[in-house]
């Protein structure tokens, strides 16, 4: 099997028109914050038990085709000694891996950020692949302000994403390209649309420059929403702005757009995805790659208690099912039927 064949097989498994991706790749600091909110200490054992519970949720593979893992999780085993990635594979869920090393200020561009992690990426990818990872994820973030993102910020972040994606494809690992326009702030939905278009245009220009095969990537963008300090927009408005901006910037060759939730609540993220798919005129699969919007209800239900694992798993699978329905544009119909 050639590298292209290998990459295509991964794309075919991830993009099937009915399933999305679970993001369970929280860094140590992020998962500590999530655990703290439900009164838990972020110990290695606690993180292992939580992620083992997620990955062994019966029926999750009906609605989730891939899971993005943190490096720690890729090497952990459950209490029975089964490697955690194998729990996912047993349900038909492909393991993936977060490969960036976090972000920091971008010198020369006050207010902009840039992500680290290109050093040693080839060697790490080979190790992760040997441990079962079939795809990878790299996140760049774009704060929105009066002067941000700057031209330098746009160029630098696009260059990092393109270099990462090119390295992944050379190693037979499908890259998820994640340019996240942050919701923080009081910017309008029109401003959000303009920034997202700038970001996506710069990213695809860089991907083309680096010879990245667009048919063999996944895009994980923000939805176009107002800043978090403003009242939220209706799902139909989010869908119209998002799809219009995507059509202006994202080539049809990209097989799937798996949206991040980016601070949206679980129901809000699902409602917006449903509205996008109800428009039904996109050249790409419109799917999800949610972290908190899938996990938060399950984490709250679990709370670190062994006797609550089954309930947490039920909640996770139900939330995944709702997003599966949103991919079909049928989430609202289901809610009305239940009412």
* Residues with catalytic roles: 178, 220
Gap between the Cα atoms of 51 and 301, Å rounded = 14
Cα distances from 73 to residues 46, 96, 158, 264, 291, in angstroms, run 12, 11, 28, 25, 15
Question: Which H helix or E strand runs over 328?
Answer: none
Q: Is the peptide bond before 232 cis (omega within 30 degrees of 0)?
A: no
Question: Which H helix or E strand runs over 78?
Answer: none
Gap between the Cα atoms of 219 and 203, Å rounded = 10
Give me the residue label for tokens 């699978």: 317
Question: Which H helix or E strand runs over 33?
Answer: helix 28-37
Residue 33 token pair: 């914050």
Torsion of CA 206, 109, 142, 22, to 10 degrees: 80
């Amino acid at each position: 099997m050639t590298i292209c064949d290998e990459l295509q097989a991964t794309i075919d498994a991830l993009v099937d028109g009915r399933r999305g991706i679970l993001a369970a790749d929280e860094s140590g600091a992020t998962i500590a914050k999530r655990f703290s909110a439900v009164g838990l200490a972020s110990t290695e054992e606690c993180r292992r038990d939580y992620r083992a519970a997620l990955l062994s949720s019966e029926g999750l593979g009906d609605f989730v085709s891939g899971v993005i893992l943190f490096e720690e999780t890729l090497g952990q085993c459950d209490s029975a000694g089964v490697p955690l990635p194998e729990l996912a594979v047993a349900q038909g869920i492909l393991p993936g891996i977060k490969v960036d090393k976090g972000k920091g200020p971008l010198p020369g561009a006050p207010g902009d950020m840039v992500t680290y992690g290109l050093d040693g990426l080839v060697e790490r990818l080979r190790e992760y692949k040997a441990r079962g990872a079939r795809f990878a994820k790299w996140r760049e973030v774009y704060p929105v302000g009066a002067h941000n993102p700057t031209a330098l910020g746009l160029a630098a972040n696009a260059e990092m994403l393109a270099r990462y994606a090119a390295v992944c494809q050379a190693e037979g690992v499908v890259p998820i390209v994640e340019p996240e326009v942050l919701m923080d702030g009081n910017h309008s939905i029109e401003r959000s649309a303009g920034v997202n278009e700038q970001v996506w245009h710069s990213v695809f220009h860089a991907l083309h420059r680096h010879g990245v095969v667009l048919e063999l990537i996944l895009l994980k963008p923000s939805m176009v929403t107002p800043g978090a300090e403003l009242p939220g927009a209706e799902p139909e408005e989010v869908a119209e702005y998002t799809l219009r901006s995507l059509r202006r910037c994202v080539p049809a060759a990209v097989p799937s757009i798996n949206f991040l939730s980016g601070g949206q609540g679980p129901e809000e993220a699902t409602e917006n995805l449903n509205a996008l798919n109800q428009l039904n005129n996109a050249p790409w699969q419109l799917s999800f790659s949610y972290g908190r919007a899938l996990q938060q209800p399950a984490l709250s239900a679990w709370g670190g208690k062994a006797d609550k694992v089954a309930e947490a798993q039920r909640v996770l699978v139900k939330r995944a099912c709702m997003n599966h329905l949103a991919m079909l544009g049928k989430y609202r119909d289901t809610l009305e039927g239940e009412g």
